[in-house]
Amino acid sequence: MSKTGHMKLMLDQAAVRRARALSARVGEPIVRLAQEHTTVSVERATLRLGGITGADPEGTPWVNRLLDVVRADVGLEHGVSLPVWHALLRGEAEDLTTLAQKAAAGSVRFQVPEGREATRARTAARKQVGAGLRRIAARRRERERLVKRWGDPEQKPWIYLIVATGDIYEDMPQAQAAAREGADIIAVIRSTGQSLLDYVPEGPTREGFAGTYATQENFRLMRAALDETSREVGRYIRLTNYASGLCMPEIATLAGLERLDMMLNDSMYGILFRDINPVRTFVDQRFSRQVHARAGIVINTGEDNYLTTADAMDAAHTVTVSQLLNEHFAKEAGLADWQLGLGHAFEIDPDVPDSFRLELAHAMLARQLFPDAPLKWMPPTRHMTGDVFRGYLLNAFFNLAGAMTDQGILLVGMMTEAVVTPWLSDRDLALQNVRYVLNAAGGLHEDFRPPPDGFIAQRANQVLSESLELLEQILDHERGLLDAIADGTFGLMRRPADGGRGLEGVAERSPTYFNPASELLEAP
């Protein structure tokens, strides 16, 4: 996915620069907040990098059992690495999983070591967690080799399809069939409600609601199935899952270890749409993005969600602001432009006059604000009524807008959106729709130059200026973004910093806080 090159839309360049400067100001205190706190999931991700695996007979992961004991003994604020590796050096167990089993049985007491003992614990932790990060780096190099061998998709945008049966063994053949039919990216939707679980389930799973649980074993199985199909179809099929919800850092880590290629990972989605505590989210998000940066994973952000709950015209600037903030947080965490699948969606009411021109304006604004990001283009959902014929037409216009504005990742819209989970025929028809449009007009973005003072350029500049106003409004709050989120500046959802799920899993770092993963991930 390459740079679009030349300017196609006359954006007010001073406004663009100002938008970035304001986003940096909004983001700065949030980054500081993330640096000053840790969470249970950040600590568990660190232990997972250290090699802990498995679950107790009830299905609670050993990493949760271990963390809970450590926390009860010494608190969370110092990080778990010092007490855990101190216990290993004392000879309490030969490895982390055994240590967790012993701790769960009540036979290990943890303490925060000092002096030389602390130094030794730090050295041991760095070595073991560093090995985990090196495994992730090795999986990244493996991906680069396989992409070179099997190749990238021939066309752009890349075609993104969803499977969601709830059963990983059903998902695999469906995903393979979708790849043979033309999908370049397969996303396995998670079971509804996983985002609110404060642990990552274990093993292969066959029971999920409206999706399949994200587990390390499911990741491994699906990646292996797609490797098989990649070889067969002669292009590298990418696999997507969700690093969101309460276990973002852990899922990001597992994704890196199992060579997933893209992860849904938004900076504010969990706060606004899942009522997860804002501090928890920002801390988890930063760590997970640092892992994604190392793993060479492309993140997909969730701006489409703003438009499924609010009017796509009224809320257009909230999408732009969220993209700017996602970009800021992502880059701060070490992600490169090519890893930023910033989201946006085709959700304007088709009854609004000039709706397609307005969609083009919004899509081009995103394209031009983020010229080197792949951009994830999401199909209509809000105005899919059950009239499948009209829906098919709307999806064709969505595909056309994607082709005209050079989007990177196109999530294929289904005409049966809001009716049934996609049937085999729905998927086939949807792919025919995409192929027709890309074949007929795939290169249209080369010819499409809206006049600088025309309707499209004016609308784009208007959304940009509304975005500046919103960023300024956020900065007018005493505590900036946190207060803005608390008072409902984004959508109608009010999410105070001391409310929401997962707050009990957050701790302010003490002066002795130590986390080898954070330390290694911060290093350039």
E strand residue ranges, 340-458: 340-341, 343-345, 376-378, 409-411
Q: Which is nearer to other proteins, 22 or 179 (CB)?
A: 179
Q: Which is nearer to other proteins, 193 or 371 (CB)?
A: 193
Q: Are 116 and 78 in contact (CB under 8 A)?
A: no
Cα(262)–Cα(175) distance, rounded to whole angstroms?
A: 15
Determine which one of 269, 306, 392, 513 is catalytic. Answer: 269
CB of 306 to other proteins, least distance (A): 13
Nearest to 50 by CA among 82, 91, 90: 82
Contact in structure between 50 and 129 (CB atoms under 8 Å): yes
Angle between helices 455-476 and 13-36 (to 10 degrees): 40
Q: How far is the CB of 113 from other proteins (least distance, A)?
A: 40
297 DSSP 8-state letter: P
Active site residue 269: yes
- DSSP 3-state assignment of 298? strand
Which of residues 120 and 390 has its CB atom nearest to other proteins in the complex? 390
Nearer to other proteins (CB atom), residue 35 or residue 309: 309
The CB-of-131 to other proteins minimum distance in angstroms stands at 37
Q: How far is the CB of 500 from other proteins (least distance, A)?
A: 10
Separation CA 369–CA 407 (nearest Å)? 13
Q: Count CB-CB contacts under 10 A for residue 245.
A: 25
Query: Which CB atom, from 286 or from 317, has the smaller least distance to other proteins?
Result: 317
Kindly tell me which of 387 and 476 has the beta carbon lying closer to other proteins.
387
Distance CA 336, CA 296 (A): 9
Residues 6 or more apart from 18 whose CB is under 8 A from it? 468
Name the pairing type of β-strands 185-188 and 238-242: parallel
Catalytic entry in 184, 266, 284, 304 = 304
Q: How many CB atoms lie within 10 A of CB 442?
A: 18
The least distance separating other proteins from the CB of residue 432, rounded to whole angstroms, comes to 9
CB of 390 to other proteins, least distance (A): 16
Reply yes or no on whether 236 is catalytic: no
Q: How far is the CB of 251 from other proteins (least distance, A)?
A: 17
Q: Which residues bind other proteins (CB under 8 A)?
A: 166, 177, 180-181, 191-193, 195-196, 209-210, 273-275, 308-311, 386, 418, 421, 423-425, 428-429, 492
**Identity (one letter) of the amino acid at 202?**
E
Distance between first and last Cα of the chain: 25
Q: What is the rounded distance in angstroms from the CA atom of residue 166 to the CA atom of residue 78?
A: 38
395/430 Cα distance (integer angstroms): 8
Q: Spot the catalytic one: 261, 376, 426, 513.
A: 376
> Which is nearer to other proteins, 492 or 523 (by Cβ)?
492
Task: Respond yes or no on whether the N-terminal peptide bond of residue 516 is cis (omega within 30° of 0).
Answer: no
CB atoms within 10 A of CB 14: 8
Which residues are catalytically annotated?
269, 304, 376
